[in-house]
Amino acid sequence: METVHLHETCSRQRRALQPEDGSTFRMYVCGPTVYGPAHIGNFRTFIFFDVLYRTLRAAGYDVNYVRNITDVDDKTIRGAQAEGTALADFTRRWTERFHADCAALNLLPPAAEPAATAHIAEQIRLVETLVAKGHAYAAGDGSVYFDVSSFADYGKLAHIDTKALRTQNETSGGGRNLADEYERDAVADFALWKAHKPEDGPVSWDSPWGRGRPGWHLECSAMSMAYLGETFDLHGGGEDLCFPHHENEIAQSEGATGKPFVRHWVHAVHLLVEGRKMSKSFGNFFTAGDLFEKGHPPEVVRYALLSGHYRQQLNFTFNGLDAARSALARLEKADRRLAATWPGGEEAWRAFVTAEPAAGDPCGCFADAWDALREDLNTPATFGAIFKALPALSAEAPAEADFPGFRKLMYALGLRPWLLRKDDAEPTEAPAGITALAEERWAAKKARDFSRADALRAELAEAGWNVLDAKDGYTLRKKD
């Protein structure tokens, strides 16, 4: 296993990641609320965790990665009702859309993707435990609340001085909070179980406290512990989840088990778009699909979302997308160079470069890039080191270790620059005679006259042109 360091939110320190049980690294990431298409801010966070997952795997870790689906909360219920659709049908549709976007953006599927509505029993059991241990109480409104004053460590993750805040809440009449999301200065007892309200329509489950539904924070405590154990290695999400969501998760989980809940907390800083907070009212709100429709391929969107460090605010701009496209074109050129020099030929190279790297693979000229990635997932430094290595790669014959090195970096970053070969790396206009030869070669290939096709390829190469075949056509490229 190669070491991966990552900043930890609670201690504010950079730490080496280690599986507690010495073998499997157990990580949980808060997944999407499926009430509409995920936006590029959501994807910044999900892609960051995908790169963490990939980097750990490439570094030789065995990883158990769980990312949930929030399919019951205020937003999903409101969305389903506005449409007159059953909640389950509504959330299924948005879950499918999320999966399609993830596939386009090349996110690896997690090992498990539990949905909140499929784990109601576990959530009720957790509330029962908290009531039994004196951390929660049923209020007169049929809801059950977590008693924040019963948990001495409340505020440790978000570094909040709850004593100061409690005084403020008392004077401002604060007390209990039914909302799923609220601000730091609203520290208050929060709902574990919400009594059924008429606005919830048909959405409710039986519980020892009457019909109702779980509060949002509860699902992640119940499901993460069900899938990963009472103490696990890493938990993450976007920075907005640090408080109250993750603070409440700690209170619920540690209150119930008396054990440390999570060994390493990670939060990704939010995205700005063209310098402003993303918002429909500013006209700068984009889903992944919006960008694909504008002609920005998923590879380019992914690269742009990785161009900033996860602990810094990333300003997503259309100029940034253009820069990402140029950067990928350079990676595509490097891929062609490696393909041309790979001993087994181009097809064998494609099979090699698209396979998962083996633990301990060497990195060759990409060693600095790999080190930068393992050092707090510093993606801009990683890209910098890759581009520093490229001129040498094209000037000299690649060293043996450069091939697995390139594969390891592309895998860990989840980039497939070769997919852009046809549409994106600008082809040079070929003279008519060359095009004619290429057309003749393509026709011969189609007719399965491979010796003729090879002879024509050699003739084109002689004249200084390479032919790159794809499934349904070819591209001509002037030799470097």
Question: Given the rule CB under 6 A, which residues bind ligand AMP?
Answer: 30, 32-33, 41-42, 44-45, 70, 237-238, 240-241, 268, 270-271, 278
Q: Is 251 in the site for Zn ion (CB under 5 A)?
A: no
Q: From the CB of 245, what's the least distance to Zn ion, in Å? A: 6
Task: Return the residue nearest ligand AMP (CB atom).
Answer: 238
Instruction: Between 70 and 379, name the residue whose CB sits nearer to Zn ion.
Output: 70
Instruction: Between 274 and 459, name the residue whose CB sits nearer to ligand AMP.
Output: 274
Burial 353-384 (b: 16+ CB within 10 A, else e): beeebeeebebbbbbbbbebbbebbbbebbbe
55 contact choice in Zn ion, ligand AMP, none (CB below 5 to 8 Å, kind-dependent): none
Instruction: Between 215 and 405, name the residue whose CB sits nearer to Zn ion.
Output: 215
Cβ contact 480:425 at 8 Å:
no
Number of Cα atoms under 13 Å in the Cβ half of residue 128: 9
Instruction: Between 298 and 404, name the residue whose CB sits nearer to ligand AMP.
Output: 298
Cβ contact 267:239 at 8 Å:
yes
Instruction: Between 241 and 365, name the residue whose CB sits nearer to ligand AMP.
Output: 241
Q: Three-state SS for 276?
A: strand
CA distance 49 to 240: 15
Closest CA to 27 of 224, 317, 296, 251: 224
Q: Taking CB under 5 A as the rule, which mask of x and - marks residues 216-235 in contact with Zn ion?
A: ----x---------------
Q: From the CB of 359, what's the least distance to Zn ion, in Å? A: 30
Q: From the CB of 268, what's the least distance to ligand AMP, in Å? A: 6
Cβ contact 243:251 at 8 Å:
no
Q: From the CB of 226, what's the least distance to Zn ion, in Å? A: 13
Hey, how many other C-beta atoms are within 10 angstroms of the C-beta on 109? 12
Q: From the CB of 287, what's the least distance to ligand AMP, in Å? A: 12
Q: Which of 4, 6, 27, 30 binds Zn ion (CB under 5 A)?
A: 30
Phi, psi of 428 (to 5 degrees): -85, 145
DSSP state of 115: B
DSSP assignment of 17-83 equals ---TTSSEEEEEE---B-SS--BHHHHHHHHHHHHHHHHHHHTT-EEEEEE-BB-SSHHHHHHHHHH
238 contact choice in Zn ion, ligand AMP, none (CB below 5 to 8 Å, kind-dependent): ligand AMP
Strands (E), 230-387: 234-238, 265-268, 271-273, 276-277, 314-316
Q: From the CB of 96, what's the least distance to ligand AMP, in Å? A: 15
Choose the binding region for Zn ion from 30-38, 152-160, 180-188, 202-210 (rule: CB under 5 A). Answer: 30-38
32 contact choice in ligand AMP, Zn ion, none (CB below 5 to 8 Å, kind-dependent): ligand AMP
Q: From the CB of 376, what's the least distance to ligand AMP, in Å? A: 18
Choose the binding region for Zn ion from 135-143, 215-223, 361-369, 429-437 (rule: CB under 5 A). Answer: 215-223
Instruction: Between 9 and 33, name the residue whose CB sits nearer to ligand AMP.
Output: 33
Q: Three-state SS for 444?
A: helix
Total of chain residues touching Zn ion, rule CB under 5 A: 2
Instruction: Between 38 and 425, name the residue whose CB sits nearer to Zn ion.
Output: 38
240 contact choice in ligand AMP, Zn ion, none (CB below 5 to 8 Å, kind-dependent): ligand AMP
220 contact choice in ligand AMP, Zn ion, none (CB below 5 to 8 Å, kind-dependent): Zn ion
Closest CA to 131 of 73, 230, 123: 123
Instruction: Between 47 and 444, name the residue whose CB sits nearer to ligand AMP.
Output: 47
45 contact choice in ligand AMP, Zn ion, none (CB below 5 to 8 Å, kind-dependent): ligand AMP
CA distance 20 to 149: 30
Q: From the CB of 115, what's the least distance to Zn ion, in Å? A: 12
Q: From the CB of 32, what's the least distance to ligand AMP, in Å? A: 4
Tokens in use for 87?
């909640």
Instruction: Between 220 and 425, name the residue whose CB sits nearer to Zn ion.
Output: 220
DSSP state of 227: H
Hey, how many other C-beta atoms are within 10 angstroms of the C-beta on 226? 18
Instruction: Between 4 and 220, name the residue whose CB sits nearer to Zn ion.
Output: 220
Number of Cα atoms under 13 Å in the Cβ half of residue 54: 25
- The site for Zn ion (CB under 5 A) is made up of 30, 220
